[in-house]
Amino acid sequence: MPGFLQKDAKQLDIEEANETRMTTKTRWIIESFHSQFKKWRFFSERISQDFLLNIDILVRTLSASVNKYGPRLFHGKSAEDYTLANKMLLMKNRTSHLEQSISNGDLSIRKNWISIRDTELDFYFPYLTLDFLREYTCGVYQIKQSPAYAKAHLYDHDGESEFQLSSSDDSFLRCRLRSKHSSTTLYFICIHFDYDDKDEPIKDHYCQCKSRARNLGCC
């Protein structure tokens, strides 16, 4: 089961956030299969009580038809799939050093940040390939959402999502983003990066959203 916030809690702990991601990663194929039912008008609208006695056989008949004649949604037997699954299992219990630094007060998520426009340093952010992003996010869901999400923050809010560097360590980048669920909610997100590391340029991340600092992908 996905994790649920405890009373008065604002974020899931890392273990709950990772377990939730594991659940959604394995559950999405079931949700995608059920969503195909909406292609039939009978299941896309409110179903009359007159069909309650027959709804079971109708669902079974449609499910069998989709299984027999519909396209296969996911095979899940490629080498890449096994590699990703093993990676997620290994990362599931990994500790986030960035989250620990913020929780311990070694790095403040709110204070001592400088806009990259005001810094005297030459700022270089690593180039991230699509392959790296797919591996880092453990899928393609965030990548498909990113164009519209980036456009909204870069152009629609008057520079509200300004990028800033930590005054004590310029390998930490901070930005403030709007929640995709509520336009009135803002979160700070922090990224630890290494420009010189071509294989693993993003070392860690932390967000103030409910997902916190989960290691399996990102929010």
Please give the Cα distance from 23 to 3 (Å, whole number).
9
Q: Let me know if residue 57 belongs to a domain.
A: yes
Q: Let me know if residue 133 belongs to a domain.
A: yes
Please give the Cα distance from 189 to 209 (Å, whole number).
9
Q: Let me know if residue 5 belongs to a domain.
A: no
In the structure, what pLDDT confidence band is assigned to residue 157 with cuts at 50, 70 and 90? low
Please give the Cα distance from 189 to 218 (Å, whole number).
11
For residues 155 and 148, is the Cβ–Cβ distance under 8 A?
A: no
For residues 109 and 102, is the Cβ–Cβ distance under 8 A?
A: yes
pTM value?
Answer: 0.73
**Nearest to 192, CA basis, from 180, 178, 204:** 204
Please give the Cα distance from 22 to 90 (Å, whole number).
12
Q: Let me know if residue 216 belongs to a domain.
A: no
Structural domain boundaries, residue 41: 14-207
pLDDT beyond 70 at 159: no
Q: Let me know if residue 166 belongs to a domain.
A: yes
Tokens of 78: 């490629």
When divided into structural domains, the chain yields a total of 1
pLDDT beyond 90 at 160: no
Q: Let me know if residue 9 belongs to a domain.
A: no
Task: Pick from 12-26, 162-176, 201-215 the range whose average pLDDT is largest.
Answer: 162-176
Average pLDDT of the chain to the nearest whole number: 82
Q: Let me know if residue 160 belongs to a domain.
A: yes
Kindly state the percentage of the chain with pLDDT values over 90: 18
Q: Let me know if residue 214 belongs to a domain.
A: no
178, containing H or E segment = strand 172-178
For residues 195 and 181, is the Cβ–Cβ distance under 8 A?
A: no
For residues 200 and 128, is the Cβ–Cβ distance under 8 A?
A: no
pLDDT beyond 80 at 77: no
